[in-house]
Structure 1
Amino acid sequence: MEQLINKIGRVVEPGKVDFITRSVEEPKGDKVLIKIVSSAICGSDLHIFKGKHPTVPLPVTIGHEFSGDVIAVGEDVENIKVGDKVTVEPVVVCGKCAACRTGNYGYCENLSFTYRMGDGAMANYITVREPFVYKLPPNLSYDEGALIEPLSVAVHAVRRADIKLGEKVLVIGAGAIGLMVAALCRKNGATGVTVADLSKSRLEMALKLGATNVINSGREDVLEAVKDLTSGIGIDKAFECVGLETTFNQALMSLRKNGLATVVGIFENPNITIPASRFITHEIKVQGSQGYCWDFPVALEMSQQIDLKSLITHKFKLEDLQQALETALDRNSNSIKIVLNP
């Protein structure tokens, strides 16, 4: 293999990125070397860029939503070959703890992600293990392929919530994950899917992807709107996709008795005040949802039914990573998903 040099973007301090370079090693064992074609900005990348991610200290490489071409494989690789167009489930698991040994690797006691180990996807190349590499459907573009990872996050949340036919759902937050959750809830049989957000353009996108109602939370009271939509009974299931005390409590208070809230958002401030008595008076349930576990195959199937391309609002070159992150944080940019092409 010819000598390759990798350029990797990282956040060095709040609001500032730089690039490091290193030689690319030939893959050994079950390792697969991928030339990255498309890499998307995730909400967690933005928390990191602000220096406010609760579990990721700086400096750190970033990027874990990506697609590309396989350019070399180790001697033990069996199902992936050079030339394959792929995406990657960017988890790092130990394979030894009780969760891993029972197939529940999403609960691995040593769970991490490739970017936290120095292998960020805001780069030219990345080396990963074969079990986490997935071939893309032939009709899916590289840019859309980079969105399989966030779609898997949404799939995991919707599957955990066990959405049923005829249920009424509230999704708070119309970022990419919230929009995907809304679309998947409709595909799963929810007859009422309401999306709440501050952005008019994002709410318009929610309607295009299958939402039945939208609430502009900058102009309307979310809980009053929910009461009107449900004749005062409340929502069957809510998804919190923002990560704020206000939206967490909106999710709780919107529920009907015995309702379920699934929390997906990352909380920069993890200590919040909640109306605890609501758990007793309404017997509501709250659960978290993080990442994925056997959800990538489902996301690849669902990518054929959801217009992922419509979520991509901006594209940048890799060297423009600083501008791309700043654009993602600029509310006036009306961005949903930003893709970088190394």
Structure 2
Amino acid sequence: MRCAVITKPLCVEITEAPKPEIEEGQILIKSHTVSICGSDMPYFLNERALQYPLPLGFPGHECIGTIVETRNKALKEGDYVLSIPNGDRGFAEYFVSHPSRTVSIPYLNNKFVIAQPLGTVIHACRKLFQSILPDAEKDKYSLERDKWNLTEKKVVIVGQGSIGLLFTAMMKLMNAETIIGIDLVNYRLDASQKIGATHIINCLESNISDMLYKITDGLMADLAIEAVGKDSTINDCFRLVKRSGVVLAFGVPRKSVYEFDFPDFFNREIKLIGSLGPDIQTEFPIAVELIANDKVDSSILISHILSIDDIQKAFEFVTEHKDNAIKILMNM
């Protein structure tokens, strides 16, 4: 089978490898579409001090495909699925997974790859809603109830890459009053407006604190979502929220120790929340349903659909913001 391997920093190659064999309880999936996640980039850029080459297919984990072999009664051959491969080895023609890491999709379509990152965003939104609206806990998986409504809330999302755009879409879906997208790339800000932002700010062209003060009539944001992964943007979020505001740290950390404006955080009683992985069997199906019903327009995020043979170019496009790249999908 064909698979990709990161052989050294900044270099991905396509190679041939034996089709994997499955053990009891596992499933084998023939990949249809995979995509590059922001969390893949540190491995490509050598920000984790790893030994190269990396394992075959690693770190691909946003994948859809068809089950071609199963040793588990929960799923059957021929099922279309969204699945996180065992060992995150999804940049491959075939990969092994488990039903606990897999959910059904109604049909094969590139757009359902977006349900994986959207599921992680839904997981984060649940945590946010519980912080802003504490009585939401007992209905934590419902997205239809009035208590999940963010009417009158002012939200700022720092970073409008694919994850930031999905947060923007979710804030619109939850009826936030003001949704402010911040980025340093204008084409991403254009996408932000298309997917739900009421206001956009280019942080290279404007002082974001001053602009937010004007937009909110001096009230600042109830909630700031950090979708970049830098200490500078975390500290920006502290300055953008009101006293006792909430900051969600979602961007993938790019180093182990961050400089932290603790006095600002402490003195203004800011609440900081971290979020990473979803409850796959609960939140991925919600994401699939939202995309299937066009409640979240995945086409705004998907900037390129390439072949897996072009994975080197795909990583370069993401790294260098080439060709208006946002979310790059690759077909096998």
1:156 CA displacement:
1.5
Query: Which of 98, 110, 121 matches 1:129?
Result: 98
Q: Which residue does the alignment assign to 1:268?
A: 254
Output aligned runs, 1:1-342, within 5 Å.
Answer: 6-53=1-48, 58-60=52-54, 61-74=58-71, 76-78=72-74, 80-90=75-85, 114-115=87-88, 120-138=89-107, 141-162=108-129, 164-293=150-279, 294-303=282-291, 304=293, 305-342=295-332
CA distance in 1, matches of 2:36, 2:51: 18
Give deviations 1:263-312, integer Å, cap 9, x for gaps. Answer: 01122233232221122321111111112123212212222211112211
Unaligned 5+ segments in structure 2 are: 133-149
Aligned pair count reads 306
1:172 CA displacement:
0.3
- Scaled by the length of structure 1, the TM-score of the pair is 0.84
Higher helix share: 2
The residue identity in structure 2 corresponding to 1:215 is: I
CA distance in 2, matches of 1:302, 1:231: 33
The residue identity in structure 1 corresponding to 2:268 is: H
1:20 CA displacement:
4.6
Indicate conservation of the 8 Å contact 1:40/1:337, yes or no.
yes
Deviates more, 1:294-303 or 1:253-262: 294-303
CA distance in 2, matches of 1:35, 1:51: 29
Secondary structure at 2:12's aligned position in 1?
Answer: strand
CA distance in 2, matches of 1:57, 1:263: 28
Q: Percentage identity across aligned positions?
A: 28
Going from structure 1 to structure 2, the CA distance change for 1:199 and 1:73 (only over 3 Å counts) comes to same
1:48 CA displacement:
1.3
CA distance in 1, matches of 2:327, 2:265: 35
Indicate conservation of the 8 Å contact 2:194/2:300, yes or no.
no
Indicate conservation of the 8 Å contact 1:7/1:21, yes or no.
yes
Indicate conservation of the 8 Å contact 1:215/1:225, yes or no.
yes
Give deviations 1:153-212, integer Å, cap 9, x for gaps. Answer: 211122211163321100000010000011101111211110000111111111111111
Indicate conservation of the 8 Å contact 1:32/1:128, yes or no.
yes
Secondary structure at 1:11's aligned position in 2?
Answer: strand
Indicate conservation of the 8 Å contact 1:143/1:309, yes or no.
no
Unaligned 5+ segments in structure 1 are: 1-5, 93-113
Give deviations 1:71-116, integer Å, cap 9, x for gaps. Answer: 1111x323x22111111145x6xxxxxxxxxxxxxxxxxxxxx22x
Secondary structure at 2:18's aligned position in 1?
Answer: strand
Secondary structure at 2:17's aligned position in 1?
Answer: strand
Indicate conservation of the 8 Å contact 1:89/1:296, yes or no.
no
